[in-house]
Amino acid sequence: MMIAGLIDPSAGEIRIKDAKVAGPRREGGVVFQSPVLLPWRTVLQNVLFPIELLKLPRRQYEPRAMDLLRMAKIDEFSGLLPRQLSGGMRQRVAICRALVHDPSILLMDEPFSALDAITRDEMAVELQRIWQANRKTVIFVTHSIREAAFLSDRVLVMARRPATIIDELPIDLPRPRAIAMTEDEAFNRLVRHLRNAIEASHAE
């Protein structure tokens, strides 16, 4: 939320491309824990909502919005309301909405935490596919060690309050990644490393 400019840091400052973050910026797209879609708007209208807020030309961005929905494999539902979609589909709409104005940074705050285990795995694979097509910097907050290891190029482990970074682990697994790789020893070795770091911090 601080990186997005939605709340102020309690100390220090945040800089993106050497510019201080002093409020909401166009460089960031945010995906929240729940999709927070407007229930009276269609899928396409929800995706285009940031364009209206930024006072950008809607017609210019409609093709991009449809391209994103197509990439997320939900373009055929563009005219439906959020209540007509599954939880996973609603979260895909939220990701498309965050990307529609072409931000350089995608900020994701536990976006899959409310999904069941199978849908969560499917969304992790889907996010990886969308990331490979867009190549954005993604900062992804999660409490799932397995999810962090599967999605990341680099994992930062944070301690309990006061939150400090206690470990940094590069993830050198090849891409694209399939859920089946989570059964491999190389993957589970990374998971054990992260779990040990967290448990050591909690013990202290």
How many Cβ atoms sit within 10 Å of the Cβ of residue 77? 19
DSSP 54: T
Cα gap 136→28, rounded to integer Å: 10
How confident is the model at residue 139, as a pLDDT?
95
User: Left, alpha or beta for 171 (phi > 0: left; psi -120 to 50: alpha)?
Assistant: beta
57 pLDDT more than 80: yes
* Identity of the amino acid at 182: T
Average confidence (pLDDT) over 39-47: 97
Which band of pLDDT confidence, cut at 50, 70 and 90, is reported for residue 202? confident
pLDDT digits 0-9 by tens, 73-131: 899 999 999 999 998 899 999 999 999 998 889 999 998 887 888 888 888 888 888 88
pLDDT band at 27 (very low <50, low <70, confident <90, very high): confident
Q: How many CA atoms lie within 13 A of 194 on its CB side?
A: 25
pLDDT of residue 45: 97
Whole-angstrom Cα distance, residue 48 to residue 56?
10
Give the list of residues 6+ apart from residue 62 with CB closer than 8 angstroms, or none: 44, 48
**Which of 155, 69, 78, 85 lies closest to 119, judged by CA?**
85
pLDDT on residue 113? 85
Judged by DSSP in three states, 21 sits in: coil
Residues contacting 169, CB < 8 A, separation 6+: 154, 155, 157, 190, 193, 194, 197
**What architecture is the 26-203 domain classified under in CATH?**
3-Layer(aba) Sandwich (3.40)
| DSSP string across 92-106 | HHHHHHHHTT--SEE
Which residue carries 């999810």 as its tokens? 147
Q: How far is CA 113 from CA 35, 101, 108, 198, in A?
A: 11, 25, 11, 19
Q: Where are the domains of the chain?
A: 26-203
- The 10s digit of each residue's pLDDT in 132-191 is 887 889 999 999 999 999 999 999 999 887 788 999 999 999 999 999 999 999 999 999
Q: So what's the pLDDT on residue 94?
A: 93
User: Angle CA(67)–CA(70)–CA(74) in degrees, nearest 5?
Assistant: 135
Task: Say which residue the tokens 């529609």 belong to.
Answer: 100
